[in-house]
Structure 1
Amino acid sequence: MRMTRLKTILTAAAVLTSAAAVQADDLHVLNWKGYGADEPWAVEAFEKATGHKVINDFFNSEQEMLTKLRTNPGLYDVVMINAAFTGQAIEEGLIQGIDVSNIPNYADISPDKSDSPMLNRDGTVYGIPWVWGLTAIAINEKSFATPPTSISVMWDEAHKGRVIIRDDAVEAVQFGAIATGQDINDIEDMDAVKAKLASLMPQIRTFWSSENDWNQMVASNQIDIGTYWSGSADRAKTQFNLPVSLVIPEEGAVAWLDAFSIPTGSKNVAGAEAFINYMIDPGFYVEWVTKVGAPVSANEKAVAALPENSFNRKVMGDPKVAERIQFQAPITDEQREAYLAIWQELKVNVK
Structure 2
Amino acid sequence: MKHSTPLLAATAMLAAALSVPANAADLHVLNWKGYGADEPWAVAAFEQATGHKVVNDFFNSEQEMLTKLRTNPGLYDVVMINAAFTGQAIDEKLIQPVDVSKIPNAVDVSAEKAQSPMLNRDGSAYGVPWVWGLTALAINDKSFETPPTSISVMWDEARKGRVVIRDDAVEAIQFGAIATGQNINDIKDMDAVKAKLTSLIPQIRTFWSSENDWNQMVASNQIDVGTYWSGSADRAKTQFKLPVSLVIPEEGAVGWLDAFSIPTGSDNVEGAQAFINYMIDPQFYVEWVTKVGAPVSANDKALAALPEDSFNRAVMGSPEVAKRIQFQAPITDAQREAYLAVWQELKVNAK
In the alignment, structure 1 residue 59 sits paired with structure 2 residue 59: yes
Report deviation, 1:112.
1.1
Report deviation, 1:22.
8.3
Report deviation, 1:350.
2.0
Q: Please give the residue correspondences for 1:80-91 in structure 2 after superposition, counting only pairs within 5 Å.
A: 80-91=80-91
Aligned to 1:3: none
Q: Deviations over 1:153-196 (max 9, x none)?
A: 10000100100000000000000000000000000000000000
Q: Given residue 257 of structure 1, which amino acid in structure 2 is its aligned partner? A: L
Aligned to 1:47: 47
Report deviation, 1:347.
1.1
Report deviation, 1:239.
0.5
Distance 1:321 1:97 in 2: 33
Query: Would the aligned equivalents of 1:206 and 1:350 in 2 still touch at CA under 8 Å?
Result: no
Distance 1:219 1:348 in 2: 28
Query: Would the aligned equivalents of 1:69 and 1:76 in 2 still touch at CA under 8 Å?
Result: yes
Q: Given residue 145 of structure 1, which amino acid in structure 2 is its aligned partner? A: E
Distance 1:312 1:185 in 2: 25
Query: Would the aligned equivalents of 2:69 and 2:76 in 1 still touch at CA under 8 Å?
Result: yes
Q: Deviations over 1:19-77 (max 9, x none)?
A: xx989611000000000000000000000001111000111111111111111111110
Partner SS for 2:350: coil
Distance 2:191 2:346 in 1: 12
In the alignment, structure 1 residue 139 sits paired with structure 2 residue 139: yes
Aligned to 1:253: 253
| Structure 2: gaps of 5 or more residues | 1-20
Distance 2:288 2:75 in 1: 27
In the alignment, structure 1 residue 178 sits paired with structure 2 residue 171: no
Aligned to 2:70: 70
Aligned to 1:338: 338
Aligned to 2:14: none
Q: Given residue 311 of structure 1, which amino acid in structure 2 is its aligned partner? A: F
Q: Given residue 74 of structure 1, which amino acid in structure 2 is its aligned partner? A: G
Query: Would the aligned equivalents of 1:27 and 1:54 in 2 still touch at CA under 8 Å?
Result: yes
Aligned to 1:163: 163
Q: Deviations over 1:92-113 (max 9, x none)?
A: 0000001111001111001110
Q: Deviations over 1:187-240 (max 9, x none)?
A: 000000000000000100111000000000000000000000000000000010
Report deviation, 1:349.
2.6
Q: Is the alpha carbon distance of 1:23 and 1:65 closer, same or farther for their aligned partners in structure 2, counting shifts above 3 Å?
A: farther
Distance 2:251 2:86 in 1: 28
Distance 2:322 2:181 in 1: 16
Query: Would the aligned equivalents of 1:135 and 1:228 in 2 still touch at CA under 8 Å?
Result: yes
How large is the RMSD of aligned CA atoms in angstroms? 1.0
Distance 1:238 1:350 in 2: 34
Aligned to 1:272: 272
Count of matched residue pairs: 331
Q: Please give the residue correspondences for 1:1-351 in structure 2 after superposition, counting only pairs within 5 Å.
A: 25-351=25-351
TM, length-normalised to structure 1: 0.93
Distance 1:64 1:124 in 2: 26
